[in-house]
A and B are shown apart, each in its own frame.
Chain A
């Protein structure tokens, strides 16, 4: 990375291409917040790479004035792994959607996470296939009526945060497209983390699945339905009137009018054991408020560090290889 960086502004990160998402799409807000976050990271434009798969969200790299690759469906984490393993100097972001990351690309997501390669994966979850015009996705709820499920979806959905925690992600977070302040804070945390950062962003598709996250956004309901996680803090929501308490191993909603705050579950992002993060990932509307913020932030060696460490160590032990040695390894004989 360059040492004396010019001061960058959000506009410096905009490419010359027209943004072509549907008017009103939640992607616009995510793009805008990303452009606000990047200038603060002290990474040059040329050292930043966005890699995406296929889907509406995956057009994202075209709109960034960085290096970028709009790859094939579901495979962005694999491209990013090859790039980051060989170019650990770069800041690599993966932009994906619920279909891209969890359906066709489920395998790559899981393996990138368990390897803990130092990339940031931002999953735009709108619970629908938008670019193919409205089929249900792996995060659509049972019963969801779409073009391909006229009688309602019969598929049990995947919970992206649960999947990431199960793969032992070292950084897991959730935010909301239009909650600009929270999204900026979350993206910055993701960028700062060494290892795979996984961020689920609740994103509205106003054409094919409008209002899917309204319970998290509407003024009237959001206080009761959003639990903002803060490290070391008790789990309080509902304008300070409600909290989450553990009853044995089971979480329950309690009223703070008759339960002291000290009895509540306290958040701890850095627990080595992923059980708390998993438990939090299971809190779903309408029985519980849904957490946003950082579920888990722990340290583990990254894949890119390790692959390069091995190369350096072997070079140290054996010395830089020469072609002469390479050719003559094994028994040789000479014909005069």
Chain B
């Protein structure tokens, strides 16, 4: 464990204290920008900052080198205050080539630090980036603190003693850039040195080269006259406790394993690889010591069907996917719904329709998970609001699934899945167990579709003597579960399944409001929580009467939602779609709602929401 104050090595230059910093690292998709960003994030979290990240990478694994299409970026905000987003305008931009420079420069604040690898601005590099002129030559960058660093040359020199090939040496330049950034923000290099040793175990020369490159970058900052001082971001005032940095998909995996442990049900994951959900499969496949069985199915349909098979057998069953996969799973989910078996379906949303924007974020699957099945087929839906919230969402989803005997949808998105923030480790003893009861035979005949007060049917699992029964996709007779074509029975069963989902509202708690009871209410769901919370608080400080409510359960609605909506003169729903929650709210409550809608594959900037709030307030 590392205390929050360690910093190695110490600098001799003065340090300027700042409240928070937003940095973006941009380079070729093969340049190791994601790795660099992750290290900077983890180190900043370890130094006690609040952090939030936004990785942004192309769908192609190795898009043509040096082209604009191949630019991969990673943005991180680290702060001494509580933050909810990875930041809007950049304080610093580090670019490894011309393409990364031209595609990111517009987000750099005036006067912001711009570090470029000046060795990658030869005419062939400019041509690849489709640039007529070298941007370093003209005056287009005059508004920024441009720092040109010949990173390629400096890295080659630094690693010369290892005698590794030039090709390998050039791969170390991201660690050089990392060293420089670490120096600039007073970050401790120790955790990254440890990371290098672990990652390159068995390749000692490569490990040494990367260590040398990292320290060369650090020393460059310490010696160059380009920087008079470093920037120090003090530790944030976080709640006491033990923390780790966590990404959304990791938190989902940990939440699922935890739910399995506290419900005493072995976890089964049926999944098919798809961006940006695959990391949940990768993570869970590492947890076999927790009894986790992962099944990489032949397709999305087999993934959900195997999940239902495992649920029938009495496991905690989960399937994970993204939009296109959820579309394929529709029929299977409908079966799970009519079987009334508990399992979890996770949709890590990405840009659509069709294949759409696999690596970009969007919230446009809401209506699909709400209504995208044949027949009357309501299901509970919970949406994660941040990377760390994914953990809680997994627990809540399993609690509801088992209490009400129903599949439950979890919505996440690409922004949450790959974004990271500090997560306070829960106290194991504070986790309330999830009680599950399987029936056993009694003297009376077994009725597989009898119901308790919550309208849940019994979860009788194969292997239980005397409870043999058949389930299936044909409509069932109430009570017996036998096939029934009776008109009144069908109406009764459709209504009963819907009422059961509505009853979930009794256990999910009320919707909470941050802010005043009158004026404008910003109503949000999912990954837009951070941007909305920040924008609303900023506007309130500026004197606007604006409140924020964030929905986690979208189906059913929290019981007090209608009352809350009535209190406000105006309601704004910002969504990364063309107005899906807005449509549901309007049809349910017959009220006027304003939307702020964006489908650019990017999360909201806080300023976009602030501007909208201000325009509505006047």
Contacts and interface: CB of A to CB of B under 8 A. Distances in A.
Contact of A82 (B266, B292, B309): B309
A40 to B, nearest CB: 19
A21 interface: no
Contacts of B306: 78-79, 81-82, 85
Interface string A71-105: 11001011111111111011000000000000000
A333 B468 contact: no
A70 interface: yes
20 contacts: A44-B465, A46-B463, A46-B468, A79-B306, A81-B302, A82-B268, A82-B295, A82-B307, A83-B312, A86-B293, A87-B314, A108-B301, A111-B298, A321-B257, A331-B2, A331-B46, A332-B243, A334-B242, A335-B48, A335-B239
Given A82-B308, A83-B309, A334 B463 contact: no
B4 interface: yes
A80 B289 contact: no
Interface of A: 2, 15, 17, 44-47, 49, 51, 54, 61-62, 64-72, 75, 77-87, 89-90, 107-108, 110-111, 307-308, 310-311, 313-315, 317-324, 326-328, 330-336
A83 B4 CA distance: 48
The 7 closest A-B pairs by CB, nearest first: A70-B472, A82-B309, A82-B306, A78-B305, A314-B288, A78-B302, A79-B309
B310 A47 contact: no
B42 A331 contact: yes
Nearest to B343: A82
B463 A70 contact: no
Given A68-B471, A107-B299, A315-B288, A336 B243 contact: no
A55 to B, nearest CB: 13
B297 A78 contact: yes
A283 to B, nearest CB: 30
B466 to A, nearest CB: 7
B467 interface: yes
B586 interface: no
B244 A330 contact: yes
A308 B471 CA distance: 27
Interface stretch (B80-88, B402-410, B425-433, B565-573): B425-433
A204 to B, nearest CB: 25
Contacts of A71: 305, 308, 335, 472-473
Given A87-B313, A323-B258, A332-B1, A67 B295 contact: no
B137 to A, nearest CB: 43
Interface centre among B48, B258, B471 (most CB of A within 10 A): B471
Interface string B444-472: 00000000000000000011111111111
A62 B313 contact: no
Given A83-B462, A86-B314, 20 more contacts: A2-B465, A61-B470, A62-B483, A69-B339, A72-B332, A78-B303, A81-B297, A83-B310, A84-B309, A85-B268, A87-B315, A307-B295, A326-B254, A328-B425, A332-B1, A333-B4, A333-B243, A334-B1, A335-B242, A335-B243
Nearest to A46: B465
Interface centre among B191, B240, B313, B482 (most CB of A within 10 A): B313
B3 interface: yes
A67 B471 CA distance: 8
A313 B395 CA distance: 27
B258 A326 contact: yes
A313 B310 CA distance: 21
A333 B46 contact: yes
Contacts of A67: 462, 468-470
B291 interface: yes
B241 interface: yes
Contact of A315 (B258, B289, B468): B289
Contact of A321 (B241, B289, B295, B464): B289
B309 A108 contact: no
A333 B266 contact: no
B474 interface: yes
B480 to A, nearest CB: 9
A313 B317 CA distance: 22
Nearest to A318: B289
A336 B3 CA distance: 10
B118 interface: no
A324 B428 CA distance: 7
B464 A46 contact: yes
A62 B288 contact: no
A315 B290 CA distance: 8
A313 B289 CA distance: 8
A68 to B, nearest CB: 4
B421 to A, nearest CB: 14
Contacts of A70: 470-474
A282 B315 CA distance: 42
Contact of A46 (B310, B426, B467): B467
B270 interface: yes
A335 B240 contact: yes
B468 A311 contact: no
A326 B309 contact: no
Contacts of A81: 295, 297, 302, 306, 309
Interface centre among A68, A78, A313 (most CB of B within 10 A): A78
B211 to A, nearest CB: 18
Contacts of B314: 86-87
Contacts of A79: 305-306, 308-309, 312
Interface in B28-66: 42, 45-46, 48
Given A86-B313, A311-B293, A327 B254 contact: yes
Given A78-B309, A85-B310, A320-B289, A108 B298 contact: yes
A323 B307 contact: no
A308 B307 CA distance: 16
Interface centre among B257, B309, B314 (most CB of A within 10 A): B309
B261 interface: yes
Interface string B328-346: 0001100100010000000
A65 B289 contact: no
Contacts of A332: 1-2, 242-244, 425
A39 to B, nearest CB: 15
Contact of B3 (A15, A54, A307, A334): A334
Contact of B468 (A66, A82, A318): A66
A253 B353 CA distance: 58
Interface string B411-428: 000000000000001101
B160 to A, nearest CB: 32
A317 B286 CA distance: 13
Interface centre among B45, B240, B298, B471 (most CB of A within 10 A): B298
Interface centre among B302, B335, B483 (most CB of A within 10 A): B302
B583 interface: no
Given A44-B465, A68-B470, A111-B302, A323 B261 contact: yes
B302 A75 contact: yes
Contacts of B270: 82
Interface string B482-496: 110000000000000
B428 A323 contact: yes
Given A320-B289, A332-B425, A86 B266 contact: yes
Contact of B287 (A72, A324, A326): A326
